[in-house]
C-alpha cells in the first residue's frame, strides 16, 4: 500500500473568490451575424445540413461529441436550439465540458487562469465546484443515474435531495441478497460512506442556477436527450475535492458510456459529429462502434451507412475520402483523423473554427 495524498488537508476556497476568464457575455446571440467562410466550406455546410435533415426525417440518430472549448466559445444557446429542433439525439463530452457548463449556470462565469492559480497552489481547488458536482454524481449513481443526467438534474431542479444515513442503511439492508444491476449496491454504499464521512445533513440542499438557460446538460435533462460524460480520472478539477468518490464517478461514467454505445449501435443512416474533441471522441467512438458492429453482425443487421463529420482547427491537407495517407505524409500523424478514418461509414474532415462551424450549421437548420 503506497502513501496517498490527503485531500482533507487542502485549503479549499469559495468559488466566488476565483477570477474567471469567460462569462455569459461570451454566449452567442441566436441572431448574430454569420462570420464569413470560403465557398468550399459553405458547400460543405450546405451538404451537411441536408444530410442531417434526411437523417432526422428517417429517425436515424445525430450524435454530437464535443470538447470543452465549444462551451467556452459561447455556443451553448445554438446547440440547445439544435437539440430543441430535434437535430441532436445524443451528446457526449469530457469532464471539463460538464464543469464549465455547470459553473456558467451556477455563477455566470467559468475558466480560471491556469498559470496564475498553479503558482498559488489553488488551481481547481474550489469549494462549490468540487462539492456540488461530486455530491450530485454520488447521489445520482445511488439512484441509478449516469454522470451527465445527475448533473443535469441538479441544474434543472436547483437543488440536491440528500437522503438520511438511516434511510440509506435500510436500503442497503433490504437490497442484500436481491438481484441488482451491476454496481447498484456499491453505489448506495458509496453514498453512505460520503454521508457518514462528511456529516452531510439530510434534506433539500438548495443549489441555485440563475443562468441555467445556458446549460447544455440541463437542456439535455429537460428534453430527455442522453448526455454522456466520458471523464479521465485525475484529469478534472473535481478530483481535488475530498468529497470526490472515484467509484461513483466510474459508476456514472460507465452507464453514460453504455448509453452512448447504444446510440452508436443505432447509427445506420445517421450522423456522428465530433467538434473540437481530438482524444475523447475518437477513443470512445472507436470502442462503441466495435461493440455495435459485433451485435449487428450477430443479428444480420446493417451498420455501414453512416457519416462521421469531424470539425477542428488542425490543418487538414489530406483528402480522407481517398483512404489513409502513407506514413511519409504528415497527415498520417493527425491521430484523431486517422482513428476516425478507420471506423467505417463515410468520414469527412473540415478545418474550421468550431464557433464558425456551429453558427453556420445552426443557420442552415434552424432559420
In tens, the pLDDT along 225-263 reads 999 999 999 999 999 999 999 999 999 999 999 999 999
Please, which pLDDT band fits residue 179 given cuts at 50, 70 and 90? Answer: low
CATH T-level fold of 12-27+36-366? Rossmann fold (3.40.50)
Closest of 35, 89, 98 to residue 67, by C-alpha = 98
Closest of 130, 209, 201 to residue 165, by C-alpha = 201
In tens, the pLDDT along 9-65 reads 999 999 999 999 999 999 999 999 999 999 999 999 999 999 999 999 999 999 999
In tens, the pLDDT along 262-315 reads 999 999 999 999 999 989 999 999 999 999 999 999 999 999 999 999 999 988
> Alpha-carbon distance 161 to 153, whole Å?
11
Note the pLDDT of residue 322. Answer: 81
C-alpha distances in Å from residue 328, one per residue of 7, 255, 287, 331? 47, 40, 27, 9
Q: Which of 80-89, 172-181, 320-329, 334-343 has the highest mean pLDDT?
A: 80-89
Say whether 102 sits in a helix, a strand or coil: helix
> Alpha-carbon distance 34 to 173, whole Å?
59
Please say if the pLDDT value at position 181 is more than 70: no
Question: Angle at the Cα of 18 (from 17 to 20), degrees rounded to 5?
Answer: 140
The arithmetic mean of pLDDT across residues 114-131, rounded, is 97
Q: What is the DSSP string of 151-184?
A: HHHHHHHTEEEEPPHHHHHHHHHHHTTS---TTH
What are the domain boundaries of the chain?
A: 12-27+36-366
Q: Do 158 and 206 contact (CB within 8 A), yes or no?
A: yes
Of the chain, the percentage scoring pLDDT greater than 90 comes to: 87
Q: Cell triple for residue 315?
A: 490543418
pTM of the model: 0.95
Q: What is the DSSP string of 264-304?
A: HHT-TT-EEEEES-SSHHHHHHHHHHHHHHHHHHHTT----
Amino acid at each position: 500500500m503506497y502513501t496517498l495524498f490527503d485531500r482533507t488537508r487542502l485549503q479549499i476556497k469559495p468559488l466566488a473568490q476565483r477570477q474567471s476568464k469567460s462569462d455569459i457575455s461570451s454566449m452567442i446571440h441566436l441572431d448574430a451575424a454569420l462570420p464569413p467562410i470560403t465557398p468550399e466550406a459553405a458547400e460543405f455546410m450546405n451538404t451537411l445540413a441536408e444530410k442531417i435533415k434526411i437523417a432526422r426525417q428517417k429517425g436515424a440518430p445525430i450524435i454530437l461529441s464535443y470538447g470543452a472549448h465549444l462551451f467556452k466559445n459561447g455556443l451553448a444557446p445554438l446547440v440547445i436550439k439544435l437539440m430543441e429542433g430535434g437535430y441532436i439525439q445524443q451528446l457526449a463530452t469530457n469532464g471539463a465540458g460538464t464543469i464549465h457548463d455547470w459553473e456558467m449556470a451556477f455563477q455566470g462565469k467559468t475558466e480560471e487562469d491556469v498559470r496564475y492559480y498553479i503558482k498559488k497552489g489553488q488551481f481547481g481547488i474550489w469549494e462549490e465546484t468540487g462539492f456540488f458536482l461530486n455530491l450530485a454524481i454520488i447521489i445520482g449513481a445511488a439512484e441509478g443515474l449516469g454522470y451527465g443526467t445527475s448533473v443535469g438534474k441538479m441544474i434543472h431542479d436547483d437543488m440536491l435531495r440528500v437522503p438520511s444515513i438511516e434511510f440509506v442503511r435500510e436500503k442497503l439492508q433490504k437490497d442484500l441478497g436481491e438481484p441488482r444491476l451491476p454496481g447498484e449496491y456499491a453505489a448506495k454504499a458509496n453514498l453512505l460512506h460520503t454521508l457518514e464521512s462528511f456529516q452531510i445533513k439530510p434534506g433539500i440542499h438548495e443549489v441555485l442556477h440563475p443562468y441555467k438557460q445556458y446549460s447544455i446538460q440541463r437542456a439535455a435533462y429537460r428534453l430527455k436527450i442522453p448526455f454522456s460524460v466520458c471523464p479521465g480520472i485525475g484529469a478534472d478539477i473535481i478530483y481535488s475535492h475530498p468529497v470526490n468518490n472515484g467509484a461513483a464517478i466510474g459508476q456514472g461514467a460507465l452507464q453514460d458510456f453504455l448509453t452512448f454505445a447504444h446510440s452508436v449501435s443505432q447509427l445506420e443512416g445517421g450522423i456522428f459529429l465530433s467538434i473540437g474533441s481530438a482524444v475523447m471522441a475518437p477513443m470512445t467512438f472507436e470502442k462503441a462502434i466495435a461493440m455495435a458492429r459485433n451485435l449487428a453482425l450477430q443479428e444480420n443487421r446493417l451498420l455501414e451507412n453512416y457519416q462521421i463529420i469531424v470539425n477542428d482547427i488542425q490543418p487538414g491537407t489530406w483528402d480522407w475520402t481517398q483512404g489513409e495517407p502513407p506514413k511519409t505524409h504528415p497527415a498520417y500523424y493527425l491521430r484523431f483523423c486517422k482513428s476516425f478514418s478507420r471506423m467505417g461509414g463515410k468520414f469527412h474532415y473540415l478545418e474550421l473554427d468550431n464557433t464558425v462551424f456551429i453558427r453556420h450549421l445552426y443557420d442552415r437548420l434552424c432559420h
